[in-house]
Amino acid sequence: MHSTHPPAPLPDPALGGPLWVTPAGRGSQVMVATDALLAQTERLARLHDSLESDAVALDRIDALGVGALATAAAGVPGAAAAMRSAAHLDGARVAVRSAAAVARRADADLRQAIAGYTAAEERQQSQALRLGELVGILFGPALRGLVIAGMPSLLSARAAGLGPEDLPVDGLERWLLDHPELITDPAFVEGVRATVMSIDDATGSAMGLSPGAVESLAASHGFTEVEAGAAITMLAGGSIGLFREGAVSMERVTTSRVTHGAHGTLDRLSRVPENDQVRIERYDAPGEPPRYVVYVGPTETFSPVATDEPWDLTSNVAAVAGLGAGSLRATELAMHDAGVRDSDQVQFIGFSQGGLIAARLAASDSWNTVGLETYGAPAGGIALPEGLAGMAIRNTDDFIPALAGPQSDHHLLQVERRAFAPGAPIPTAEPAPAHQREAYAATATAIDAAESLAVRRQIAAMDAFTAGFEHRDGATITVMTYHAERGGEKHLAPGKSLGAGIPAAVTPTWSSGGSIP
C-alpha cells in the first residue's frame, strides 16, 4: 500500500491546506488554530509585551526630570527645546500605552475567535459521534439478520474449502483506487471515525442488549472507547480465521554508521523504514549513557489474514485494541537487541501503523520516552504521559487515523493539514492517497516551514535530542535495521541484549510468543 522509501518526487506542499495546530493542553486549555493564526497571536503578545516595556521605560525617562531641570535652567540655550522634549515625552507615554492596550485587545479577540472555533469543532465532532452511536443502535437488529442469513453461506464456503484468505481484498483495493475523491474527503473521514466509534453499540444492539451494555462490559475488561470496538472486531474475526495473533521473530539485517542525527520533521519521516520494519539509531558519547531513536515502519500488508508479515492488519487492530500486537512485540525485541535499557532516553518515530506502535511504546512504563513523532497514526485514543517532545501529524483527508476514533489525548502537540485542498488534483496510482508517504512528506515540509512557536519549539526539541554528535570527540551514531516475521521458527537464546558497544556483525534473531493477553 505504501510507496517505496525514499519518497520521490515530493508533491508540492502548496496543493494542501493550511496547518491546523492543537498545542498540548488539558480541558479548556485545548485550542485549535491554524499555524498562521497561532503565529499571529504570538506576534501580538510579543508586541503587547514590547509596548508595555516601552511604557515602563518612558516612565523611567520621565523620572529624569528634564522638564523641571529645564524650568530651573530657563534662559540657558536649549532649555526651551528641553521643555518641549518633556512635553513630547508625555505625549509619547500616552501614545505607547494606548497602542499597548489595543495590542492586548487584538490578542484577546484573536484568542477568543480561536476558542470559538475550537468549541464549534468539538460540538460538531461530538454530534457526529452521537449520530454514529444512534445509527449503530438502530441498525444492530439488521446486522443480526445479516449474520444469521449469511451463516449458511459461510458454512457452505467452509465446506467448499474456501477460507478467509479468499476474501475479495483486491476488489476493495480497486474500489479505493477508483474513488480517490471520495475517500480523501474529510466528510468521509469523519464518517469512518463515527463508524468505528459505534461498533460497540451496533454489536450490543445486534445481540439484543441495551445501549451502553457492551461499552460497560468492555470497560470492565479494561477496554475504553475505540479499544472496545477493535477488541470486538478481533473476537468476531477470529471466529472465521481473521486477525489471529501469534509468535513473531526478529532479525537484525544491517549495522552501519551515520554522521548526523535527523534535522527537521521531513528528515525524520525520511528515516522511517519500509520493508525492514524497524530502524534504531544509537547515539554514544564519552561519559554519557547512550540515547536512542526508534523508527517504526508502516503497514506492509492489509490482508486481514495473518501471514508471515507482522506489520499487517492484524497488528493494526490488535494495537488499536491495546493488545499484544505482533509488530509491537517485534519492535520491543529489536530494542532489546539494540541494547536499549529502561533508563535510556528514547525518541519514537513512526508512520501509519509505525506511529501507532510508537505511541503505544511511548505510553508504556517500560521505556524512558522523551520524544514522539507520528505521521498518520491511528492512535488518538492512547493516553500519553505529560512532557513528551514532538507531535502527532495527521492529514485530515486521510481516513486511517480516524480508525482509532477521535483525538482524546492532548499531551502531545497535534498538527493537522488537508493533504489535497479542494480542487487540487488527487493522485490515482495508489489507494488512500492522503495516507501515502509522499502526502505526509508534503505535510512535513509545511511543518518545517511553520511560523508558530508552538510548532517550532517542538521541532527544535526533537532536533536537540540528536544534535551536535558530529562535533563531539569520540561520539558515534550507530544505525541498526531489523526485519521481523510472524512465526517462531528462528530462535535465539535469551539474554542477548548487546548492551554497550557496537553490536556484533552477526545478525541475531529473537522470537516472541504471541498470545493475546
Partner 1 sequence: MTSHGPISQPAGDALRRALEHQVAALAPIAAGLHAAEAHPAVAPADWHGPASDAYDGLESRLRSRVAVAERAVSTALQTSRLALAELGG
- Does residue 77 bind partner 1 (CB under 8 A)? yes
- Pick from 21, 51, 194, 362: which binds partner 1 (CB under 8 A)? 51
What are 84's three cell numbers?
A: 518641549
Are 403 and 198 in contact by the 8 Å Cβ rule? The answer is: no
118 near partner 1, rule: CB under 8 A: no
Residue 115 or 143 having the CB closest to partner 1: 115
CA distance 421 to 14: 9
Q: Is 15 in the site for partner 1 (CB under 8 A)?
A: no
- The answer to whether 119 contacts partner 1 (rule: CB under 8 A) is no
Q: What is the DSSP letter of 14?
A: G
Question: Crossing angle of helices 353-363/326-338, nearest 10°?
Answer: 70
224-263 residues in contact with partner 1 (CB under 8 A) are none
Contact region with partner 1 (CB under 8 A), list: 91-99, 211-219, 311-319, 373-381: 91-99
Q: End-to-end CA distance of the chain: give it in Å, rounded.
A: 29
C-alpha cell at 491: 530462535
Q: Is 116 in the site for partner 1 (CB under 8 A)?
A: yes
Residue 319: closest CA among 298, 339, 342: 298
92 binds partner 1 per the rule CB under 8 A: yes
Q: How far is the CB of 180 from partner 1 (least distance, A)?
A: 24
Among residues 14, 81, 119, 500, the one that binds partner 1 under rule CB under 8 A:
81
Three cell numbers written together for 427: 493522485
Please identify, using beta-carbon distances, which residue of 102 and 253 lies nearer to partner 1: 102
Cβ proximity to partner 1, 84 vs 158, nearer residue: 84
Q: Which is nearer to partner 1, 96 or 415 (CB)?
A: 96
| Least distance from partner 1 to the Cβ atom of residue 458, Å | 20
Radius of gyration of the chain (CA): 28
Q: Which stretch binds partner 1 (CB under 8 A): 93-101, 228-236, 319-327, 507-515?
A: 93-101
| Residue in the block written with cell 519514537 | 348
Q: Which of 32, 110, 328, 346 binds partner 1 (CB under 8 A)?
A: 110
**Given candidates 10, 73, 209, 258, which one binds partner 1 under the rule CB under 8 A?**
73
User: Sign of the CA dihedral 365, 369, 370, 375?
Assistant: negative
404 closest CA partner among 254, 112, 196: 196
Phi, psi for residue 229 in degrees, rounded to 5 = -60, -40
Among 14, 113, 172, 460, binds partner 1 (CB under 8 A): 113
455 near partner 1, judged by CB under 8 A: no
Examine residue 91 and tell whether it contacts partner 1 (CB under 8 A).
Answer: yes
CB contact set of 42 (below 8 Å; sequence gap of 6+): 452, 453, 454
The letter for the amino acid at 40 is Q
Residue 344's CB is within 10 A of a number of other CB atoms, namely 18
Stretch that binds partner 1, among 69-77, 299-307, 339-347, 484-492 (CB under 8 A): 69-77
CA nearest neighbour of 484 among 279, 281, 331, 295: 331
The SS3 assignment for 102 reads: helix
Identity at 423, one-letter amino acid code = G
CA distance 427 to 17: 16
* Residues, the chain: 517
Position 415 contacts partner 1 (CB under 8 A):
no
Range in contact with partner 1 (rule: CB under 8 A) among 80-88, 288-296, 365-373, 380-388: 80-88
> By C-beta, is 81 or 182 nearer to partner 1?
81
Q: Which residues contribute to the site for partner 1 (CB under 8 A)?
A: 18, 34, 36-37, 40, 43-44, 47, 50-51, 54, 57-58, 60-61, 64-66, 69-70, 72-73, 75-82, 84-85, 88-89, 91-92, 94-96, 98-99, 102-103, 105-106, 109-110, 113, 116-117
